[in-house]
Amino acid sequence: MTGLASLFILVVLTVAATFGWRWWSQRNDAGSKRYNSLIEQTADRHNMDPSLVKAVIFQESNFNANARGKAGEYGLMQITEGAAKDWERGTGKSFGSPGSLFRPKLNVEIGTWYLAQGYRKWQGHDEVLTLSLAYYNAGPSRAQEWADAAGEKKIIDTIPFSSTRQYISHVMQHFRTFSRERRFHDETEEP
């Protein structure tokens, strides 16, 4: 390949990467903003940080209300029927049919409720966020098992599933990003 051809390919790839990233970023930003009000209201009702709820949604579905998981999860927060039934038992409300779990309002309600259950359970623990996310991703009994096994170690080091460790790490990264964006927005908002 000649130097000119290599340069041309490099320019094309650079332009594609730049516009592709910009398109992806704008698409993602629009998706996340679409649900801001719903996330804020639901998080407030459950005494949760909206940036954490948003981070979970980003990780679970990238703000795709029609997302369907490999294990049968539904919607924005990838709710399982088991989690929905836990919500029914905990609240006395009915979620209806599994297809209703695609509805953003119901999905975010159940997902935030479930996340808040883990947060409340681990509220006194130094690693409340890690355990809350382990609870959300892998279930209450596994989160308890990992907390019990930790001793002096960090909880993340006791989790045998790399997928759960990665999940927690990614959600925490997104949480920090959304928290910074929220603070920036709050600081720049006109009175």
Could you give the residue numbers annotated as active site?
60
The answer to whether the CB of 146 falls within 8 A of the CB of 155 is yes
Q: Give CA–CA dist 112/52, Å, rounded.
A: 9
Least Cα distance to 74 among 116, 37, 39, 111 occurs for: 111
CB count within 10 Å of CB 78 equals 25
Helix ranges restricted to H, the chain: 3-34, 36-45, 50-61, 81-91, 104-121, 128-138, 140-150, 162-188
